[in-house]
């Protein structure tokens, strides 16, 4: 049975952590000490603590802000615009631009994170540029931590959306936009009334994928701000990590992980339904 190795691996190392996440969140497991090796059942105590913890709604809200601004708006819109501009711009410029955007994406995530950190740091490139035009810089990672990680994630991740839209735009039949042009539609009208509606399925797919990818971003935030100052940029993955490994409460961190899994699962189901409908329409 050739499916067996795959099913076995998925059962132990993918389903395993999921089940373990739910089970572990009902115990009082800690990183060190007696309850590290033999934790007790505590029922829903971790979830009660989660709901009472003012950091949890903050973290949830920061995750939403981070995902919406950097993925849904930033990567998705910028990726589309870049892909769209590539269809009409000078070929050589388009190739170079595509290389630049992809470059930020293929870098190992820890390198991208250090580069973004250096860019926004007090003596970094951004402040040097601002000084050139006579503006005073700031310690951006400290004063506007969310803005810096959002911009860094747009820089890092736009390539994915760009590539998805570039593939999709190349499949739009030119006769349709040409027909609209003959009917007197200007460039903006052709984009909004013809091209975008044709790409509805691709847009939905891309939105779901970048949302799911952005929900799991850890390294970028951990290196740039470590969730700080205080908890001002601690999205759910960072919050779960800090609670588990800095404050030693594995069980509490696991409860946060379970919440993330539920959010991910809801998005995945919606995504699969969209795919199915697209399949049925075809």
Interaction of residue 257 with another protein, rule CB under 8 A: yes
DSSP state of 133: T
User: DSSP characters for 149-181?
Assistant: HHHHHHHHHHHHHHHHHHHHHTTS-HHHHHHHH
First to last CA, the chain: 33
229 belongs to the binding site for another protein (CB under 8 A):
no
Question: CA 217 → CA 7, 110, 182, 221, 228, distances in Å?
Answer: 27, 12, 46, 7, 15
* Piece of the chain touching another protein by CB under 8 A; list 49-57, 137-145, 224-232, 258-266: 258-266
* Total number of residues that touch another protein (CB under 8 A): 97
Q: Provide the minimum distance between the beta carbon of 116 and another protein in the complex, in angstroms, as a whole number.
A: 6
Check residue 236 for interaction with another protein (CB under 8 A): yes
Cα–Cα distance, 229 to 192 (Å, whole number): 41
184 binds another protein (CB under 8 A): no
The phi-psi region of residue 184 (left if phi > 0; otherwise alpha if psi is between -120 and 50; otherwise beta) is left
Task: Check residue 227 for interaction with another protein (CB under 8 A).
Answer: no
User: Looking only at residues 197 through 226 of this chain, which bind another protein when binding is defined by CB under 8 A?
Assistant: 202, 205, 208-209, 212, 215-216, 218-219
Q: Which is nearer to another protein, 102 or 147 (CB)?
A: 102
Rule CB under 8 A: say whether 35 interacts with another protein: no
Segment 48-107, which members bind another protein (CB under 8 A)? 78, 81-82, 84-86, 88-90, 93-94, 96-97, 100-104, 106-107
Task: Choose the binding region for another protein from 15-23, 53-61, 69-77, 134-142 (rule: CB under 8 A).
Answer: 15-23
> What whole-number distance in Å separates Cα of residue 223 and Cα of residue 194?
42
Using CB under 8 A as the binding rule, the residues of this chain from 106 to 165 that contact another protein are 106-111, 113-116, 118-119, 121-125, 128, 155, 158, 160, 163-164
Dihedral (CA of 178, 181, 186, 188) sign? negative
CA 127 from chain center: how many Å? 26
Tell me which of 73, 135, 268, 277 binds another protein, using CB under 8 A: 268
Rounded to 5 degrees, φ, ψ at 6 are -65, -45
């Amino acid at each position: 049975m050739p499916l067996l190795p795959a099913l076995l691996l998925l059962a132990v190392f993918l389903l395993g952590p999921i089940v373990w996440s739910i089970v572990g969140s009902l115990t009082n497991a800690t990183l060190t000490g007696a309850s590290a090796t033999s934790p007790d059942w505590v029922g829903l105590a971790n979830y009660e603590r989660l709901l009472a913890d003012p950091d949890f709604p903050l973290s949830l809200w920061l995750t939403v802000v981070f995902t919406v601004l950097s993925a849904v708006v930033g990567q998705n819109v910028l990726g589309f615009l870049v892909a769209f501009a590539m269809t009409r711009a000078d070929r050589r410029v388009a190739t170079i631009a595509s290389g630049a955007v992809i470059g930020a994406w293929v870098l190992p995530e820890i390198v991208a994170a250090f580069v973004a950190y250096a860019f926004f740091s007090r003596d970094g490139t951004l402040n040097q540029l601002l000084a050139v035009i006579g503006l005073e810089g700031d310690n951006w990672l400290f004063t506007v931590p969310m803005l810096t990680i959002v911009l860094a994630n747009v820089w890092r991740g736009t390539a994915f959306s760009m590539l998805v839209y570039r593939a999709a735009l190349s499949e739009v039949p030119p006769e349709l936009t040409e027909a609209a042009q003959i009917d007197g539609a200007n460039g903006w009208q052709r984009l909004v009334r013809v091209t975008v509606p044709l790409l509805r399925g691709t847009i939905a797919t891309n939105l779901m994928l970048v949302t799911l990818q952005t929900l799991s971003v850890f390294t970028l935030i951990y290196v740039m701000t470590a969730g700080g100052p205080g908890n001002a940029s601690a999205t759910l993955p960072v919050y779960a990590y800090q609670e588990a490994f800095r404050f030693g409460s594995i069980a509490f961190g696991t409860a946060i992980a379970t919440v993330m899994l539920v959010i991910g699962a809801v998005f995945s189901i919606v995504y699969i339904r969209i795919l199915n409908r697209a399949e049925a329409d075809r």
